[in-house]
A and B are shown apart, each in its own frame.
Chain A
C-alpha cells in the first residue's frame, strides 16, 4: 500500500517514527515535497479564512497527496503529557480533513495519540486498530512499533547533540555520517541565539524562510527547544508550576524560552510565529514582558504566506549586529 504523509505540522518531530513504522509493516511511504507556493494556494482555497497558516498549509499537503496514495496518515494528537493538551486544531485535525474533502474518509489513517511522554510509540493501544485495518498480527504490529521507537529515539539524540531536525533525519534515515554536518558545537561563533518556534514553522523553509540556516550562515550559534534535554524543559515547567499554558508544544517553547533566558551562553531570543496563532500570542507576550527582567533582547518574527525575504534578512541582521555590539560593550564594561 502507498501511505501518504504530509510534510507539515508534526512531520518534523515524528517522521522518523512514522516512516519506520509503516515500512516495517511493508508499506511504501510517500511524502509530499517541501511546502511550495502551489501547496499553500491549494490549502488556502480549502480552508476557512481565519484559520492559522500552518493548518492551511497542512490542508494543501493533504490535497497534494489525495490522488497519489491509498491512504493518508492524519494522526489526532490529543495529549503527550499529563494535564496538557494540543492546540484544539490538532485535536480536531482528522475531522477537519474528513469533512473538508469529500470521499477522503476511507483513505484516512488517524490514530488518536494520547500518551504521557513525547515518546508516542510507547502506548501500543493507540495503534491497535491498524491490525484490523491492514490484517496484521499484534506481534508484527508491536515489532514494527518497537523498531520505529528505536529509530525515533536515535533521531532525538541527534537533535540534542545540536543537529537540526533536517540533519538528524538525514543521519538516521538516509545514512549520512555525523561529520557531514557541522553542528553548533564546533562553530566558534560570536553570538548564540535561542530560536523559539514550532517545528512546523522553523523547519518549513517556506514559512520561516529558513531562518535557522540563515542565522548559521551569519556565524550565529542556534539553539532550539528540541535540542534541549527533556529534563531541563521539565524543570522549567515545574518552576512555573501552575503557570503553564496547557498546550504541550507551547509549553515546551515557553520552557525553552526561560531556559534560554537563564542560560548565560545565550545572547538573545528570536520568536518565530505564524500569523493567526492563538497560543503564540500568549507565549510571545509572556516572554516579551520578561525581556527586561532577564536583560536579554527578544525579537518576534511574524510570518505569513506573503512575508518578504529581504525584509526578514534585514531585520535579523540588525538584531544580530545589535547583539554583537552589546556583547562587546559588556565585555569592555567588565
Chain B
C-alpha cells in the first residue's frame, strides 16, 4: 500500500520503518507556505495550528499518490485522537479517498492497536517486524545523539550554515542504512563529519545555553517554527530541545515498569506549578523550564501553537517560575500569521537580555 504520515522532525525514521516492512512510502513534502495555505483553507478557522499544517501535509501527500495515512492518536485530554476525526471528515468531504490508520496507546485499546499493527505488518514475519522495530529504534537513538551535538556545534561554527548542511547530509546517510552495521557506520561517519566543523574558540564561561520547550509539533518541526534552533545557533547560542523522538518513544511506548525516562523526572519538577497532567505538553513545559533552570541554562524559548489550550495554561504560570527561579522565558505563539520579522526582533531582544544577565553572573 502507498502510505504516508504527518511531517514532523526527523522523518527519515518513519520512512525507514515502513520501507523495512515493504510498504511504498510517499514522503510528505517539507511543510512550506503552500502546505500552510492549503491547511488553513480547509481547516476550521480556530483549530490549532498543527492541525492545519498537518491537514495541508496530508493533501500534498495525497496529491503525490498516498492512499493510507498512518498517524498516532496521542492520549492526552487535549488534541488527542481527535485530529484524525476532523482530518478524515474534511478530506472525505473534499473528495479524497484515503484511509487512516491511527495508533492509539496499546495499553488503552489493545484490540484496535493489534488490528492496526496487522495492517502494517502485512506479510512480514513477526521476527522481521521485531527486527525492523529494533533497527529503527537504534537509528532514532543514534540520530538524536548526533542532533544534540549539532545543536551545540552550530553556535560556534566559523562558516555559517556548515553544521546544518552536514546534519542534512547525515540524515541522508542514515536514509541509506538498512542494517545494524550500516547504521553504526552512518553514526561513525556522522561523528567524523561533525568533528571536522571548524569552530570559534569560545571560553566556557562565555557560552550561552538556551532550552526550547512547548507543544511537540511546533517544537519538533523547524519548517514551521522559524527554524528556531538554527536561528539561535546562528546567533551564537547552544540549544537543547525538550523533546527528541527517541525520548518520546521511550516515554509513550515503553510500559510503565521499564520507563525510567528523564521525562518522568522532569514531570516531577513541574509538579509544584501544575500538579496534574492537563493534556498536550503543558506539564512537561513547566517541568522542563524548572529543569533547564536547575541545569544552569541561561534562558528558555517557549513555543506554542496559537491558541493551544494546555500551553495557554503553562503560559499563564510561567511568569511565576521566572520570578521564583530567575530564568528568563520567551513565549512565542506560532500560527499562519506569525510574522518572522516581528518574532526575530523579539528573539534578538531576548538574547540581549540573557547575555546581559550572563555577563553579570560571571563578573
Interface set of A (CB-CB < 8 Å, partner B): 47-48, 50-51, 76, 78, 85-89, 91-92, 95-96, 99-100, 112, 242-243, 245-247, 276-282, 284-286, 289
Contacts and interface: CB of A to CB of B under 8 A. Distances in A.
Given A50-B307, A78-B276, A92-B278, 4 more contacts: A85-B77, A87-B77, A281-B44, A285-B86
Nearest to A114: B276
A51 B319 CA distance: 15
A99 B279 contact: no
A285 B310 contact: no
A112 B275 CA distance: 11
B320 interface: yes
Interface in B38-81: 44-48, 77-78, 80-81
B313 A89 contact: yes
Interface in B253-290: 273-276, 278-280, 282
B324 to A, nearest CB: 10
A89 B309 contact: yes
Contacts, number: 102
A321 to B, nearest CB: 27
B86 A282 contact: yes
Contacts of A246: 77-78, 80-82
A95 B80 contact: no
Contacts of A280: 46
B353 interface: no
B133 to A, nearest CB: 26
Nearest to A110: B275
A53 B89 CA distance: 28
A89 B82 contact: no
Interface of B: 44-48, 77-78, 80-82, 85-86, 89-90, 93, 273-276, 278-280, 282, 306-310, 312-317, 319-320, 333
Contacts of A50: 306-307, 312, 315, 333
Contacts of B93: 289
A281 B185 CA distance: 48
A95 B309 contact: no
Contacts of B45: 281
12 contacts: A50-B312, A88-B282, A88-B313, A89-B312, A89-B313, A91-B278, A92-B278, A276-B46, A278-B78, A278-B309, A282-B86, A289-B93
A246 B81 CA distance: 9
A92 B313 contact: yes
A50 B48 CA distance: 12
Contacts of B320: 99
Contacts of A99: 273, 316-317, 319-320
Given A88-B280, A281-B46, A281-B47, A96 B313 contact: yes
Contacts of B90: 285, 289
A128 to B, nearest CB: 17
Nearest to B304: A50
A277 B48 CA distance: 10
B279 A91 contact: yes
A112 B278 CA distance: 13
A282 B82 CA distance: 9
A83 B214 CA distance: 25
Contacts of B278: 88-89, 91-92
Contacts of B319: 99
Given A48-B312, A88-B313, A96-B313, A245 B82 contact: yes
A319 B253 CA distance: 50
A215 B91 CA distance: 36
Nearest to A279: B309
A243 B47 contact: no
Contact of A88 (B273, B310, B317): B310
Nearest to A288: B44
Nearest to A94: B275
Contacts of A47: 316
Nearest to B112: A242
Contact of A95 (B78, B85, B89, B273): B273
A58 to B, nearest CB: 12
Contacts of A87: 77-78, 309
Among A86, A246, A276, A289, find the residue whose CB has the most chain B CB atoms closer than 10 A. Answer: A246
Contact of A92 (B48, B80, B82, B310): B310
Nearest to A273: B46
Given A48-B315, A285-B86, A91 B44 contact: no
A243 B85 contact: yes
Contacts of B274: 92, 95
Contacts of B308: 278
Given A95-B274, A286-B86, A278 B315 contact: no
Contact of B282 (A78, A92, A278): A92
Nearest to A281: B46
A304 to B, nearest CB: 12
A85 B316 contact: no
A87 B48 CA distance: 14
A278 B273 contact: no
A230 to B, nearest CB: 21
Nearest to B77: A85
**Best-surrounded residue of A47, A86, A285 (most CB of chain B within 10 A):** A285
A107 B93 CA distance: 51
A76 B317 CA distance: 16
A162 B282 CA distance: 40
Nearest to B108: A83
Contacts of A48: 312, 315-316
A50 B307 CA distance: 6
Contacts of B307: 50, 276, 278
Contact of B279 (A85, A276, A282): A85
A169 to B, nearest CB: 29
Contacts of B315: 48, 50
Contacts of A92: 274, 278, 282, 310, 313-314, 316-317
